[in-house]
Structures are given as C-alpha cells and as structure tokens.
Amino acid sequence: AQKVTQAQTEISVVEKEDVTLDCVYETRDTTYYLFWYKQPPSGELVFLIRRNSFDEQNEISGRYSWNFQKSTSSFNFTITASQVVDSAVYFCALSERNYGGSQGNLIFGKGTKLSVKP
Amino acid sequence: DGGITQSPKYLFRKEGQNVTLSCEQNLNHDAMYWYRQDPGQGLRLIYYSQIVNDFQKGDIAEGYSVSREKKESFPLTVTSAQKNPTAFYLCASSYGTSVDTQYFGPGTRLTVL
C-alpha cells in the first residue's frame, strides 16, 4: 500500500546549522512521483520540488538539496546553513501513476516541524 | 498574478448548519482538489475534479459535497452530516492528474461552535 513516513515529528536547530528532514515511502508502482512542500505559520503549502522515480540524481537549489535513493525508498531533504525563515512544517508526499484507486490521491506524510532559533 | 484564492480565511459555524468554502483559481488548471488538515496530521483528500461537471470522492468524502460548474471554481460544502468538521481546509489545483504538481491556496480554518 501507499505510505509516506516522516519519523521526525519536530526538529529544533540553531541558525546556520545544517538540518536533514527524512522521508521514507512505500509504493506498489514502478512509476511514481515524490514531492516536498513547506507550510509556514500562515498555513499555505508552498511547493518545493517534484521528482519522478526514474530520476535518481540529487538536486540542489540554493541552500536546499534533496537526496533520492530508491534502494532505501527514501527522499531526504537537507537545508544548509538554516535561517529563521526556514521555520515551518515540511511535508513529503507521494503520487503513483498507475494507482488503481482515485487518481487524485497525493499521499502525504504527517510532516516535520522545523524550528530554527536565532 | 496567477494563483488560487480561498475565502473566507476564518469561518465559524454553529452545529447543524451547512457552510460553503470558496476556491477560485486563474491558473487555467483542469484539476482541482480539496484537502482537510487536522492538527499534527498530514493532508487527507476530500474530493477532486479533473474536468468541469465531473468530480470524484477522495478518502474522506462523507459529510461533504462539491460542484464544478466552472473551470475556475470548486466550492466545498461542509454539511451538518460531517461529524467533526473543525479543521483547516486547503484547496489545490494542477494541470492534469495527481502526478502533476498541485499548487495550494491559503486555506480556510473552519471552527464549529
């Protein structure tokens, strides 16, 4: 069955520290997509990245980087030199291309709350 | 500016009343979605629509209803049959199916008094 696990419920770091948010997924499909979203205190979900199952290259965008490893079914997210503005809840999500149920189903993890203290 | 708008931001309802949450998008997206978020939880899909005049139930559709008369609009009605409606409701849209990136609105926080 589809499942996304974010084992870290809350993380607290001091500004300028590096922090990694873990995401482990389960899927029946060979074609799937993984996403990360950021939810600041205002509540709106902000899209960060989309990755398909055939592209295992790591990606870097500024202070953000993502490590996708199919062998361990993980899609971890690292923030380098964290800043107070990075404080938010971060969600990992999974979508399968050939899921037999509702095609609208984006499966979310429960989120990791990151607090960056000055 | 293109985007998704939801109104109102905060909504209070008495038990036994129906209430409708608005969602509008000007991104020219075909698909629209409604999610519910409870404290400390991820998002759960209520309803989605891939085309005008068609919509499908998600995982927790009981006690909710939707319509899709226009491409830009996907209102959600929380009916009195919904046993625990207090939650944060998020609307999203995408070009096509769920494998396309979903973009979210600012959300509506519903509280039942």
**Mean pLDDT of each 10-residue bin along chain A, 118 residues long:** 92 98 93 94 94 88 94 96 97 78 74 97
Residues in chain B: 113
**pLDDT value for A103:** 54
A10: number of CA atoms within 13 Å, CB side?
A: 4
Q: Encode pLDDT of B63-99 as tens digits.
A: 999 999 999 999 999 998 888 999 999 999 998 776 7
Q: Which residues of A touch B (CB under 8 A)?
A: 4, 9, 33, 35, 37, 42-47, 50, 91, 93, 95, 97, 102-106, 108-111
Residue A45 with chain B: CB contacts under 8 Å? 43, 90, 92, 104
Quick check: B106 contacting A, CB < 8 Å? yes
